[in-house]
């Protein structure tokens, strides 16, 4: 193969990971008055990855997710999703992403099927898609038997799986999950994990999740970033992060405490 550019400029191969990135930020920044919530952040998530975002409360995770899901405009810097700019091409970005918010965001006074129908219409799915995807999605989520039950009769795990079903009905390429198993019992948590893994492995969806559970991050994610004071303190595969401590037998808890544990005052300005 003949190099097209002299090798001292930049090697052509191996490919820059950014080339296959489905999500990429450049110096992404968000200020609230004097508070720098997200500070010059650069991250890239490759298509097919399961990316875990960890960090103490107030590290900037929620602000970052809000910017990436087009809910909050960045103060400066850019974020690209599937090749579209979250600030300038928000409408296009919204077609490519699904978002499972932190709180129970389904209408309990409606049935599971009705909830799915409402959002299918909001995403302008055709009638044919609506008729095939809703039963399929209920089956994949283990909710076929209770599709016509009111959602406020659901257990925590069923509700969460329904929320994931709603968020993926339009088949997004990138799915954001904000603390997907917070407050669930171990059995319900397992069922949610299975569903997330199914979406990644069977449907090829890229996963971007935040969590406070190290076990969850390790089980689901092939890459993990730890945020601290609006910046990425560490990023890598779970094993790489553990190795980086240079301590035999280090766990993800150790990693988290090492990179996000120091209590520091917010920098001025």
Candidates 21, 72, 224, 234; binder of another protein (CB under 8 A) is: 72
Q: Does 21 bind another protein (CB under 8 A)?
A: no
Shortest gap between Cβ of 105 and another protein (angstroms)? 4
Q: Do 168 and 205 touch, CB atoms closer than 8 A?
A: yes
Half-sphere exposure of 102 (CA within 13 A, CB side): 10
Q: Does 103 bind another protein (CB under 8 A)?
A: yes
Toward another protein, which CB reaches closer, 103 or 187? 103
Q: Does 61 bind another protein (CB under 8 A)?
A: no
Instruction: Provide Rg for the chain, Cα atoms.
Output: 20
In angstroms, the CA 43 to CA 28 distance is 9
Please report, as residue ranges, which positions from 110 to 129 form the binding site for another protein (by CB under 8 A): 110, 118-119, 121-124, 129
Toward another protein, which CB reaches closer, 100 or 226? 100
Q: Does 104 bind another protein (CB under 8 A)?
A: yes
In angstroms, the CA 253 to CA 193 distance is 20
Contact region with another protein (CB under 8 A), list: 75-83, 107-115, 184-192, 237-245: 107-115
Please report, as residue ranges, which positions from 167 to 196 form the binding site for another protein (by CB under 8 A): 167, 171
Candidates 23, 56, 97, 217; binder of another protein (CB under 8 A) is: 97
Q: Does 198 bind another protein (CB under 8 A)?
A: no
β-pair partners for 147: none
Q: Would you tell me the crossing angle of helices 112-122 and 127-140 to the nearest 10 degrees?
A: 140
Toward another protein, which CB reaches closer, 161 or 242? 161
Show the beta-strand stretches assigned E in 84-181: 84-85, 97-100, 174-178
Shortest gap between Cβ of 107 and another protein (angstroms)? 6
Cβ neighbors of 250 (< 8 A, separation 6 or more) are 242, 243
Q: Does 149 bind another protein (CB under 8 A)?
A: no
Burial of 207-219, coded b for 16+ CB within 10 Å and e otherwise, reads: bbbbbebbebbbb
Residue ranges that bind another protein, judged by CB under 8 A: 66, 69-72, 91, 94-95, 97, 99, 101-107, 109-110, 118-119, 121-124, 129, 132, 166-167, 171
């Amino acid at each position: 193969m003949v190099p097209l550019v002299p090798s001292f400029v930049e090697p052509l191969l191996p490919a820059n990971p950014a080339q296959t990135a489905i999500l990429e930020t450049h110096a992404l920044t968000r200020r609230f008055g004097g508070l720098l919530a997200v500070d010059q952040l650069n991250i890239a998530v490759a298509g097919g990855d399961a990316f875990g975002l960890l960090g103490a409360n107030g590290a900037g995770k929620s602000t970052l997710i809000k910017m990436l899901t087009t809910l909050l405009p960045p103060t400066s810097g850019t974020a690209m999703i599937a090749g579209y700019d979250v600030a300038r091409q928000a409408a296009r970005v919204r077609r490519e992403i699904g978002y499972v918010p932190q709180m129970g965001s389904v209408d309990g006074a409606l049935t599971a099927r009705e909830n799915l129908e409402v959002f299918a219409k909001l995403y302008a799915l055709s009638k044919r898609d609506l008729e095939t995807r809703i039963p399929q999605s209920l089956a994949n989520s283990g909710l076929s038997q209770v599709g016509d039950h009111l959602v406020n009769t659901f257990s925590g795990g069923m509700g969460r799986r329904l929320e994931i079903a709603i968020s993926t009905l339009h088949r997004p390429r990138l799915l954001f999950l904000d603390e997907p198993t917070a407050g669930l019992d171990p059995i319900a948590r397992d069922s949610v994990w299975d569903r997330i893994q199914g979406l990644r492995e069977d449907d090829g969806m890229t996963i971007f999740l935040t969590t406070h559970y190290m076990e969850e991050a390790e089980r689901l994610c092939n890459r993990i970033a730890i945020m601290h004071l609006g910046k990425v303190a560490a990023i890598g595969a779970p094993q790489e992060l553990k190795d980086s401590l240079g301590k035999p037998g280090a766990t993800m808890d150790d990693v988290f405490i090492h990179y996000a544990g120091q209590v520091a005052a917010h920098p001025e300005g």
